[in-house]
Amino acid sequence: MTAFDDAVPARPRAPARRPAPRQAAPLPWLKPGVFIGALAPLASIALRASRDELGANPIAQVENELGLTALILLVASLACTPARRLLGWTWPTRVRRELGLFAFFYASLHVFTYLVPDQGLDWGVIVEDVTRRPFITVGFLAFVLLVPLAFTSTAASIRRLGYRRWNRLHQLAYLAAVLAVVHFIWRVKIDVSQPLIYASVLGALLLVRVAVWARQRSARREERRPGASGPATSR
């Protein structure tokens, strides 16, 4: 070994790989925006209540606005999957759970307002209302259907129930929405133009759901048919 060998610089080490930067989720403002927007009706009610601007019957006004907000958010959550299928949008499915939980939140406030400020927890009157007044009966049933949906909205619930059973359970959201629309129509009695708008939107969403179900069933039949070349692909 010569002196020149000592002078030869050592082979440089390869630079350590830096971990790939974590890619930010697309539309990072989406969920916070939905959160703030969903709380806006409640903030409006609270502000107007503090100013005594809720009209001659503030309890009824609060009750009606909370129920309408719950219906809007429930229909919005049901529109997420059709929007993805028909328009190719992916962002609605990321806020579907949030919308559904806010629908349950407002429905709970709606029921609470009826039970406490409106009826003063007079259970005799409440039971009579639920059993003898049809619009309250269907509204109560709609709320009851939302309870298990809200409490099984987590990923842990999907693992515990299995996706198929979980999915079947959460299809009850459509029935809850139908009952909520009926509750709205029977509640207003005279001018049903506004509830009919929500009924039309909900009917369109149900038609999309039925069309998708029929297409998937047809594809499964095609797969089972003797001589079929392979599974039908869905787009």
pTM of the model: 0.80
pLDDT in tens, 100-126: 999 999 999 999 999 999 999 999 999
Task: Report CA torsion sign: 129, 133, 136, 140.
Answer: positive
Give whole-number Cα distances, 84 to 74, 77, 138, in Å. 17, 12, 30
The predicted model gives 154-179 an average pLDDT of 90
The predicted model gives 20-42 an average pLDDT of 79
pLDDT score, position 219 = 72
pLDDT score, position 11 = 52
Give whole-number Cα distances, 18 to 15, 22, 39, in Å. 9, 11, 42
Nearest Cα neighbor of 182 from 204, 166, 154, 202 is 202
pLDDT in tens, 137-159: 999 999 999 999 999 988 888 89
